[in-house]
Amino acid sequence: MNEDERGTVEDLPDPQGRTTDVSDASLSDQDDARRAALVDSLPRPSADTPLLAELQLDARRRIELRGRKFPRPERTRVITVANQKGGVGKTTTTVNLAAALAQAGLQVLVLDNDPQGNASTALGIDHRAGTPSIYEVLVDSAPMHEAVQESPDVPGLWCLPATIDLSGAEIELVSMVARETRLRTALDGYFEWRTRQGLDQIDYVFVDCPPSLGLLTVNAFVVAREVLIPIQCEYYALEGLSQLLKTIELIQAHLNPGLSVSTILLTMYDARTNLAQQVAQEVRTHFPERTLRTTVPRSVRISEAPSYGQTVMTYDGGSSGALAYLEAARELAERAALSTTTPTTAQARGGSAQEDQ
């Protein structure tokens, strides 16, 4: 069953027969007491009613989160979303966290660093061949501001698109000077340009990576201070994680000592399967500090949104998937960037029986 079949939170039965008004439109950032009272008024599901529990979770998130402003970080947080496995939710996580933070009043920039350009598509950003893009920035040293576009749907959300040209960049970069630091130089230049223009400071930068550990991903590790690893709650989920962590350790040692894996997000979580619960448990055991409490459920709405050139935050902001990303964005915004070191590869190896085979 998906959320489309579940009905909406407005259908929740109220044991006292009162009307539970959970519409969020009138809730401002200062309405904490009203939000708490509304959450209190929700019916209490028992453990044997998982459907009601899910509806209640959505209702609570809707009341607590929608219309809320998130705290602004002291300085720009640059977060690379990486996992060399394909289809684990990197792009989906990048665009939805970015949109959620921008909707919550922050300035957010997405660097689409994958030749497939999926992040650009999902943000409704033009990325046809010939559009100024990250390719010109990386390969021709073009100024980043000439290629950055603002999202048509969410004010304060910006995107450096990727075009098909980027598929050649991996090879072209090999022989170039400072091939690992070109994205960082370009981003520094963009921040300076924004300051000169009197534009607001960017609060969050997300870099969407291709499913490989080549030079494009290396550039993404060098530009960032934080790595966010989405992990799909399925078999083999942890396979390859130790290779990813080894690469990050190498980057730390040689190119970017300030880099750390700050965040792990469990995606495509299906609470009804034992496997998803086991994978989640295993990840939390090995990375207790870094794994966000929020998991992202498998959701039809999330997978539909890109075909409309939208994030799920604008496509269906009240759906379970959008509310989960909104809650994950709040967690990300509220916890200070963990400055601890990258988890060791040994830790990751212990994390999965399938690893390193």
Among 56, 80, 92, 256, binds ligand ADP (CB under 6 A): 92
Question: Per the structure block, which two tokens stand in for 50?
Answer: 């998982």
From the list ligand ADP, Mg ion, none, partner contacted by residue 280 (C-beta under 5 to 8 A by kind): none
Give the whole-angstrom CA distance, residue 239 versus residue 106.
35
210 binds ligand ADP (CB under 6 A): no
Q: How many residues bind ligand ADP (CB under 6 A)?
A: 18
Binding mask 115-134 for Mg ion (x = CB under 5 A): ---x----------------
Q: Which is nearer to ligand ADP, 215 or 268 (CB)?
A: 268
Cβ of residue 84: shortest distance to Mg ion, in angstroms?
A: 11
Binding mask 211-230 for ligand ADP (x = CB under 6 A): x-------------------
Helices (H), the chain: 32-40, 50-65, 90-103, 118-122, 134-139, 169-174, 182-197, 215-223, 241-254, 274-286, 300-304, 312-315, 320-334, 345-350
Give residues with Cβ within 8 angstroms of 340, minimum separation 6.
260, 289
Question: Per the structure block, which two tokens stand in for 79?
Answer: 């977060």
Query: What residues numbered 33-92 form the site for Mg ion, per CB under 5 A?
Result: 90-91
Judge contact between 129 and 117, C-beta under 8 A.
no
* C-alpha separations of 179 from 217, 222, 299, 312 in Å: 12, 11, 39, 35
302 binds ligand ADP (CB under 6 A): yes
Question: What is the helix (H) or strand (E) element at residue 263, kind and residue range?
Answer: strand 260-267
133 binds ligand ADP (CB under 6 A): no
**Which residues are 80's β-sheet partners?**
207, 227
The span of 13-21, 80-88, 167-175, 333-341 binding ligand ADP (CB under 6 A) equals: 80-88
Cβ of residue 307: shortest distance to Mg ion, in angstroms?
A: 15
Contact positions toward Mg ion, by CB under 5 A? 90-91, 118
Contact positions toward ligand ADP, by CB under 6 A? 86-92, 118, 211, 267-268, 296, 298-299, 302-303, 306, 321
